Structure 1
């Protein structure tokens, strides 16, 4: 049949076939035998309803709300991978966070604010990536907590996400290295550049972390530091932490240590972290107006014990308790607040991609006088007027 084509007809057909091939490549489809690599669109959508027993205003004000992402932040992800040789691949990730309740873009309105990076991955030598991304502390130590993970998520964060484990904080201008697994040991490091001429250390960030696994048990340790973290208009907007960090402070230093063991369907974890803030001027709560501080030096110490149990292949429950102690020092005085937080979640896997969940989180805050903090505050919700806050939530989570 092709023999009956005229010259002009064959040229038109070749043009059409070329266009189809280009479109298929852009969608990551195997249009031609010589096509290499993949491009995929994936993501996660999380939404539901939440009841809050004390929601700002006068004590006792209650709220029933439609919520987006109380466990995991909703996002869609464009990612790609291209094999360069048997050991080396190129990769990229462009991830957009959003709210399903109003369709707004998250992460201060950034198109790809959830993460955006490109890099090279080697089975033998490790992975190097460049761009806006989560740091090594979150990568290696977060799995020992419930906050930020699929088994607790945003609402289970330690007060104000003071140790950056609940996926609020990314590092801009970051170069990140992750080693291959070596006899159970793996490590990584992240460095975020200031990009400010003549001020290399202003608004920069870095972290180092590692884990070791042996049999059913594992442990991890990490350290991170941010210099001049701020989301104020006067900050270096091209720096490593221009927005999204929990605090405005001259410097933040956070160290973490965690461990876990698994027995059949049960996994028990513990984690301790310590965050020190120099000259802190505000707490930048994503669900509320910023809390003004007095330029004091602040220390948060967190200790969390948690467990999760697979009742069946479909049902999983997880529970955790976190004790947080604070030390607020300023020229006008000293305060030693404490927080107790309990969380419980049940997850029903309707399929490999769709889950429903029910969760309850209770927080008790003591000794807030003199801190500037108005009341208890569970992550992703406005503060309470009093020292106690309870959240009950139902939701659905779908991966695609």
Structure 2
């Protein structure tokens, strides 16, 4: 009897040790609400909308201690519609992220799979829309800098350094997986610094022949990129460069932020920013955007947060040029640590030859202004 008890105790100890060395966490977000738009393709509209503050998702993340300061790490993250239950990101099972790697206490982390690029990692959280007091509608026109995650990167190998006094850097390369090494490949690099009230970030991204002729196996799959039907001047570019830098600084309950991003869509096969869905008259050829943003976030209480941001975007294509001005404001109230409600308002005005089109609204305005209001609820688990 004594031997049996000792054996049972030993087995229990081993099971506890194995459990302590590895872990898997289930997590997720559900976000849905309503959106009013004064001019959505020529008509005012009320719509049931979802993924307003953050994309609805569920996922698994895990680690296994391999000993000697080395761990196996992974993350599988699914995106779905909270209104219909349908898969997002082109119907992928784990369309938001799917990667596996090794993390070392001495040398940093190496991961392989479908991942976010350096601009999304280090710069996107600094935008006013990244505060979550404001919805995705607060990001920049047409998501030209991809900080609203229009696309993710497949076939990617990423190295991330350890954090040294709040400083961290990464570099990523994504393979084309085609017969031509240079077709539909991507790379990025960036760095960030977080220390006390200060957060800084900067990054650069370059894509070569993204979504090449309907390619679905390269670094940027054609079904998870800018829409060729509505924005061929972005979707059919031979090269894409995107860059940015910014920072936030917290002063008591207030956080101020400044951000600059830019993008260059080289030699699109067809389409003009200043014709069709987004405008009339203007140039052809490569499209360049420059975005400047100033923001203020304020915590009135631990449960009540507000944010306001002003964004200016200058766009050029050949002889054509135009501007977007957008004001975004909103409040967020936490009913608990995991559940909050929000109310946001947006106003955008453009210069001549451009139609207003607030990011994430279903269709552009038929005029040079657009107004939207969003309300909803978000729950984290």
Q: TM-score range by the shorter chain?
A: 0.7 to 0.9
Partner of 1:277: 265
CA apart distance, 1:97: 0.4
Alignment CA distance shift 1:264-1:72 (3 Å): same
1:159 aligns with 2:141: yes
Q: Tell me, in whole angstroms, the C-alpha distance in 2 between the residues paired with 1:135 and 1:295.
A: 29
Partner of 1:297: 286
Partner of 1:314: 303
Alignment CA distance shift 1:339-1:191 (3 Å): same
Q: Tell me, in whole angstroms, the C-alpha distance in 2 between the residues paired with 1:33 and 1:87.
A: 16
Partner of 1:181: 163
CA apart distance, 1:45: 0.5
Deviations 1:102-136 (A, max 9, x none): 11110011111111111111232211111001111
Q: Tell me, in whole angstroms, the C-alpha distance in 1 between the residues paired with 2:23 and 2:328.
A: 39
Alignment of 1:4-83 (within 5 A): 34-35=18-19, 36-56=21-41, 58=42, 61-83=43-65
Matched residue of 1:336: which SS? strand
Partner of 2:329: 344
Q: Identify unmatched segments of 5+ residues in structure 1.
A: 2-20, 22-29, 284-288, 370-374
Contact 1:212–1:218 (8 Å) recurs in 2? yes
Partner of 1:27: none
Contact 1:282–1:290 (8 Å) recurs in 2? no
Deviations 1:235-258 (A, max 9, x none): 332111113233321001112111
Matched residue of 2:89: which SS? coil
Q: Identify unmatched segments of 5+ residues in structure 2.
A: 2-11, 227-233, 272-276
Contact 2:247–2:258 (8 Å) recurs in 1? yes
Alignment CA distance shift 1:124-1:388 (3 Å): same
CA apart distance, 1:206: 0.8
CA apart distance, 1:281: 4.4
Q: Tell me, in whole angstroms, the C-alpha distance in 2 between the residues paired with 1:282 and 1:40.
A: 45
Q: Tell me, in whole angstroms, the C-alpha distance in 1 between the residues paired with 2:240 and 2:131.
A: 23
Partner of 2:81: 99
Alignment CA distance shift 1:364-1:140 (3 Å): same
Alignment CA distance shift 1:155-1:192 (3 Å): same
Q: Tell me, in whole angstroms, the C-alpha distance in 1 between the residues paired with 2:346 and 2:279.
A: 22
Contact 2:120–2:147 (8 Å) recurs in 1? yes
Q: Which has the higher contact order (CA 8 A, sep 6+)?
A: 2
Partner of 2:184: 203
Runs of 4+ in 1 over 3 A off after TM superposition: 30-36, 289-295
- C-alpha RMSD of matched pairs (Å): 2.7
Deviations 1:165-221 (A, max 9, x none): 112221010011111111232111111110112x11111111110123455323221
Q: Tell me, in whole angstroms, the C-alpha distance in 2 between the residues paired with 1:393 and 1:215.
A: 32
**How many residues of Structure 1 are paired with residues of Structure 2 in the alignment?**
357
Deviations 1:131-176 (A, max 9, x none): 0011111111112212355233421110011011112221010011
1:356 aligns with 2:319: no
Alignment CA distance shift 1:294-1:172 (3 Å): farther
Q: Tell me, in whole angstroms, the C-alpha distance in 1 between the residues paired with 2:184 and 2:99.
A: 20
Q: Tell me, in whole angstroms, the C-alpha distance in 2 between the residues paired with 1:344 and 1:393.
A: 10
Matched residue of 1:201: which SS? coil
* TM-score normalised per structure 1: 0.83
Q: 1:216 aligns with which of 188, 197, 204?
A: 197
1:239 aligns with 2:239: no
* TM-score normalised per structure 2: 0.87
CA apart distance, 1:282: 6.6
1:380 aligns with 2:365: no
